[in-house]
Amino acid sequence: MACDFLMKWPTLDKLQKSKADTIRKFYQEHGSRSTKVIEGRLKQIRSALPLTTDAPVIEPSVALVQSIAPQLRSVINAITQFDQRIKDVFEKHSDAKIFSSFPGAGAALAPRLLAAMGSDRSRFASSLEVAEYAGIAPVTERSGKKTWVHRRFACARFVKQSFHEFAAESIRFCDWARSYYDQKKKEGKSHHSAIRALAYRWIRIIYRCWKDRIPYEDGKYMRALRQRKPDWLQSSPLNEP
């Protein structure tokens, strides 16, 4: 939408001279059909003031934008093709059902988690190895009588990002994940620290499902949680049977 918008209206002056119906039609044709949103944009357009009216500044800027926009369109099309290819390959993979079963993984994160774990079950001997490889497991350092813990910097960064993003998404789709995150926040942890702690827990679950070749079942995991009764669950509404 942005590329097409800038190609059609490269300057504020040209945009403000266009009819409201023309602008409405543009947004509608680009998938934006909320009347409230479109009218809000029209109001902003009509009241907008230019930062400059200096032609020697505006003209070369317009030329630059109109040369970049088509290049961005090519990149966008290439990304779309990559996404489709990833989807096709993922759906044919024997482990697709396992990684699709994790709440919040979705079309984007499920293939990334599968790629992080791989197909070779001998690659990792434990969930801790996965957590260390991903940079999710904290590092404990000691010097004399002093001990301190910090996040791991030497790691596979894309893998770390994948687990981190998945954990963040899971709190929207999984009740126990939300409860665990909320408890960590109550303990004073920052958002990202709480998400890393949740990702560490998810890695243990993902590793077991991957190792045993079984999809994740939320109900089954909740029953196991209630039996183990971890401290963080005691103050949660989920503790009720």
Q: Specify the pLDDT at position 149.
A: 56
Q: Specify the pLDDT at position 49.
A: 95
Non-local CB neighbours of 37 within 8 Å, separated by 6+ positions: 27
Q: Specify the pLDDT at position 227.
A: 85
Q: Specify the pLDDT at position 75.
A: 93
Q: Specify the pLDDT at position 144.
A: 65
C-alpha atoms less than 13 angstroms from C-alpha of 202 in its C-beta half-sphere: 33
Ranges of the chain whose pLDDT falls below 50 = none
pLDDT in tens, 58-80: 999 999 999 999 999 999 999 99
Q: Specify the pLDDT at position 154.
A: 63
Non-local CB neighbours of 189 within 8 Å, separated by 6+ positions: 197
Report the C-alpha gap between 112 and 114 in whole angstroms: 5
Q: Specify the pLDDT at position 156.
A: 77
Report the C-alpha gap between 200 and 202 in whole angstroms: 5
